[in-house]
C-alpha cells in the first residue's frame, strides 16, 4: 500500500472478496522527504500515514517493511549504472522485477501468504497453458507494460483487483464511496527516488560531469556537453549546438557513447529503427512454441504497440517491426504482446537504424 488511491481500493476489494489481507507499505528510501509535494514522491511519512489510515478503515493489520537496501542495490544503483553505460533504464520495471514481485513476494510466501495484491491496472487470465497476463480494460491506465518482467511463477502469486475496472475515475469514485481519504490524491508520475523530479540534476550529482563532444554521423564535431549521461536517444532539447545542420533542420540524439563520452546527433529520420534485439529476456507465462512469430512490440510505458516479427534464439530475442520504431534507446524494455496478452519482454541491447549512415 503506497498511500495512493489504487492500492487502497485494491486492498478494499481483496478484503471484500474474502481474503485474509494484511497491508504492507514498502519503505524504499532511507532519506524520504517528510511531506508530499504535488504529484511526486513515495516513501514520505505522509504517504505511509495515508496507507496506514486506509488500512485502519478497512480493518486490516498494517506494517511498514524496509526494503531500502535492496531497492538501493537493485533499482537506484542499477539506474545510475545503466545511465553511466549510455543506456536508458526504466526503474519502475526494475522495482517490479526485483522488489515488489521478488523480494516482497518471497518474504510474503515465507511468512505464509499466498499472493501479493497490488493496485496495478492489468488482468490475469486462466489460459489453456496456464496463467496469462493481459492489458487492463482501461487502456489509458493500462500498466501491463511495466509488469512485462513478471514470470509464470510470479504471476501465480499475484493478484490485480483493479484490472477489470474500465476507468481510473471509477476507482476514485469507489474510494470516495468507501470513505477512503486518498480518493482525490494526485497520481504519482515521477521517479520516486528523485523527489524534485530533476532527473538530469540528480544524475549529474551521482555520475559527475565531464566535458565531451557532440558529433554528427560523419564524425564532425558540432558541439560540446557536460556529460553524456545527461542525454537520451531521441532527445532534441538542451543540445545547444554551435554549428547549424547543413539542411537547417533540427537534430536529435541518435546515440550515446559513454566510453568516449560522445553524443551523436542527426536528423529525425535517422531515429527510425528497423530492428531491435536483446539478450536479457523473460516470458510472462508459457514461453512461445514457435521460434519466429508475429506479435506487437511496445518500447515504452505509453508508446503505441507496433506490429512486428519476433525471432527467439538461445542467445536472445530479435524483433523487426513492420514499420520503423522511433526513439529507441538501449536499456529500454521491449514488451511483446499478442492481442491483449503480454508474451514477455527483453531489454534492448542493440538497434539497427532504418536509414543508412550518410543519408
**Least distance CB 48 / another protein (angstroms):** 4
Structure letter (DSSP) for residue 189:
-
Tell me how far apart the alpha carbons of residues 298 and 284 are, in angstroms, rounded to a whole number: 15
**List 93, 95, 103, 194, residue binding another protein (CB under 8 A):** 103
Contacts (CB under 8 A) with another protein, residues 59-98: 61, 63-66, 68, 70
**List 53, 72, 84, 107, residue binding another protein (CB under 8 A):** 107
**Least distance CB 28 / another protein (angstroms):** 10
For 93, the grid coordinates are 520495471
**List 52, 72, 206, 300, residue binding another protein (CB under 8 A):** 52
CB neighbours of 186 closer than 8 A, spacing ≥ 6?
38, 39
Residue owning grid cell 495484491? 117
Looking at the Cβ atoms of 97 and 142, the one nearer to another protein is 97
Which one of the spans 20-28, 222-230, 278-286, 336-344 is the region binding another protein (CB under 8 A)? 20-28
The answer to whether 334 touches 348, Cβ cutoff 8 Å, is: yes
Closest CA to 213 of 271, 255, 269, 267: 255
**Least distance CB 65 / another protein (angstroms):** 6
Tell me how far apart the alpha carbons of residues 168 and 4 are, in angstroms, rounded to a whole number: 12
Residue owning grid cell 506494517? 63
* Phi, psi of 160, rounded to the nearest 5 degrees: -120, 85
Looking at the Cβ atoms of 48 and 273, the one nearer to another protein is 48
Looking at the Cβ atoms of 65 and 293, the one nearer to another protein is 65
Tell me how far apart the alpha carbons of residues 65 and 71 are, in angstroms, rounded to a whole number: 12
For 284, the grid coordinates are 510472462
Q: How many residues bind another protein (CB under 8 A)?
A: 25
**List 32, 148, 163, 344, residue binding another protein (CB under 8 A):** 32
16 binds another protein (CB under 8 A): no
β strands within the chain, DSSP E: 23-27, 62-66, 116-117, 122-127, 130-135, 158-159, 212-215, 221-225, 251-257, 262-267, 273-278, 281-283, 292-298, 306-313, 316-321, 333-338, 341-347, 350-353
What residues act catalytically?
95, 192
Looking at the Cβ atoms of 52 and 257, the one nearer to another protein is 52
Looking at the Cβ atoms of 2 and 277, the one nearer to another protein is 2
106 binds another protein (CB under 8 A): yes
**List 112, 219, 356, 358, residue binding another protein (CB under 8 A):** 112
110 binds another protein (CB under 8 A): yes
290 binds another protein (CB under 8 A): no
CA–chain centroid gap for 209, Å, is 26
By CB under 8 A, name the binding residues for another protein. Answer: 22, 25, 27, 32, 34, 43-45, 48-49, 52, 61, 63-66, 68, 70, 103, 106-107, 109-112
Amino acid at each position: 500500500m503506497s498511500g495512493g488511491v489504487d492500492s487502497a481500493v485494491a486492498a478494499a476489494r481483496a478484503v471484500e472478496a474474502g481474503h485474509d489481507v494484511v497491508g504492507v507499505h514498502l519503505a524504499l528510501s532511507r532519506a524520504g522527504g517528510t511531506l508530499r509535494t504535488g504529484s511526486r514522491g513515495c516513501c514520505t511519512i505522509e504517504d505511509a500515514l495515508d496507507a496506514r489510515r486506509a488500512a485502519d478503515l478497512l480493518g486490516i493489520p498494517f506494517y511498514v517493511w524496509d526494503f531500502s537496501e535492496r531497492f538501493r542495490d537493485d533499482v537506484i544503483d542499477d539506474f545510475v549504472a545503466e545511465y553511466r553505460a549510455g543506456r536508458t533504464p526504466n526503474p519502475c520495471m526494475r522495482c517490479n522485477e526485483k522488489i515488489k514481485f521478488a523480494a516482497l513476494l518471497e518474504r510474503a510466501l515465507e511468512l505464509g501468504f499466498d499472493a501479493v495484491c497490488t493496485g496495478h491496472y492489468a488482468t490475469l487470465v486462466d489460459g489453456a497453458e496456464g496463467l496469462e497476463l493481459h492489458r487492463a480494460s482501461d487502456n489509458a491506465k493500462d500498466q501491463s507494460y511495466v509488469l512485462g518482467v513478471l514470470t509464470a511463477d510470479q504471476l501465480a502469486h499475484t493478484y490485480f483487483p483493479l484490472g477489470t475496472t474500465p476507468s481510473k475515475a471509477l476507482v476514485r469514485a469507489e474510494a470516495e464511496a468507501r470513505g477512503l481519504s486518498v480518493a482525490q490524491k494526485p497520481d504519482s508520475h515521477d521517479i520516486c527516488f528523485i523527489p524534485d523530479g530533476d532527473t538530469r540534476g540528480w544524475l549529474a550529482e551521482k555520475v559527475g560531469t565531464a566535458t565531451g563532444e557532440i558529433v554528427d554521423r560523419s564524425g564532425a564535431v558540432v558541439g560540446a556537453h557536460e556529460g553524456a549521461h545527461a542525454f537520451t536517444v531521441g532527445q532534441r532539447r538542451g543540445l545547444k549546438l554551435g554549428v547549424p545542420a547543413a539542411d537547417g533542420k533540427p537534430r536529435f540524439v541518435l546515440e550515446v557513447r559513454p566510453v568516449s563520452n560522445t553524443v551523436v546527433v542527426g536528423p529525425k529520420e535517422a531515429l527510425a529503427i528497423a530492428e531491435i534485439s536483446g539478450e536479457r529476456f523473460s516470458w510472462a507465462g508459457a514461453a512461445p512454441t514457435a521460434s519466429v512469430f508475429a506479435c506487437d512490440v511496445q518500447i515504452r510505458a505509453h508508446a503505441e504497440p507496433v506490429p512486428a516479427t519476433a525471432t527467439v534464439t538461445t542467445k536472445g530475442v530479435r524483433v523487426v517491426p513492420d514499420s520503423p520504431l522511433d526513439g529507441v534507446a538501449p536499456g529500454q524494455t521491449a514488451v511483446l504482446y499478442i492481442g491483449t496478452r503480454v508474451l514477455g519482454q527483453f531489454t534492448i541491447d542493440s538497434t539497427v537504424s532504418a536509414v543508412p549512415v550518410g543519408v
